[in-house]
Amino acid sequence: MLFPGGRVPLRIFEQRYMDMAKACLRDGSPFGVCAIREGAEVGAPAVPYDVGTTAKITEWDMPQLGLLQVIARGERRFRIVERRVEPSGLQRARIELLEPEIDVPVPAQCSRCARLIERVIEEHPELIAPPHELGSSAWVSARLAELLPLQVHAKQELLELSDAAERLERLNGLLRTTPRDES
């Protein structure tokens, strides 16, 4: 699951995605990332959820012929208006970009969420690339939603929220119901 401002590493080996990545690199254009509603990542085209995130390739490497490793950064949320599958199996869609989410500073009652992300950054800096916006409800809630081991449908619900404070409140509620590590 990719949220705006997040990063996703991808290993690309299917020809349809190689062609897509090549075009994105050549043109500097984004591609869409949607969670899978039905189907699998590899093989026949899966049915995606309607809301996803545009992504731009920021780093790439081809360690061996036929394998492309990329890091893509999430940009904007979108909704699929119309979807079609090309003969290669690549899915193309007409989309509408969603308004940027309403952002507010992290409220005091959700400071535990920001501290958790800060701790992740300190202990595993490779997981969350700068810039770090620990005072932003949108940024903190998106990073938590990406990192927490939630079911896909739960993460999808969080992605679809246009109010970052509401997303942060929901995640804060989940953290309150989780037993604390007192060590």
In this structure, the strands spanning 31-33 and 51-64 are antiparallel
* pLDDT of 42 strictly over 80: no
Which residues make Cβ contacts (< 8 Å) with residue 83, sequence separation at least 6?
A: 48, 91, 92, 93, 94
Instruction: State the Cα–Cα distance between residues 156 and 35, nearest whole angstrom.
Output: 7
pLDDT at 92: 95
pLDDT at 43: 65
Q: Where are the alpha helices (DSSP H) in the chain?
A: 15-27, 111-123, 137-147, 152-160, 164-177
Residue range 95-123, pLDDT digits in tens:
999 999 989 999 999 999 999 999 999 99
Which residues make Cβ contacts (< 8 Å) with residue 148, sequence separation at least 6?
A: 171, 174
Nearest to 178 by CA among 108, 105, 113: 113
Reported confidence tier of residue 177, pLDDT bands at 50, 70, 90: low
pLDDT at 183: 39
Looking at CATH, the fold of the domain delimited by 108-177 is given as LON domain-like fold (1.10.4060)
pLDDT at 175: 87
Task: Report yes or no: 97 and 51 within 8 Å, Cβ to Cβ.
Answer: no
- Pick the residue with more confidence: 5 or 175? 5
Domain 7-97 = CATH 2.30.130.40: yes
Residue range 49-88, pLDDT digits in tens:
999 999 999 999 999 999 999 999 999 999 999 999 999 9
Task: Report yes or no: 46 and 78 within 8 Å, Cβ to Cβ.
Answer: no
Segment 36-57 mean pLDDT: 87
AA identity, residue 143: R
Structure tokens at 43: 């093989």
Structure tokens at 111: 């400071």
Q: Where do the domains of the chain lie?
A: 7-97, 108-177
Reported confidence tier of residue 45, pLDDT bands at 50, 70, 90: confident
CA atoms within 13 A on the CB side of 50: 7
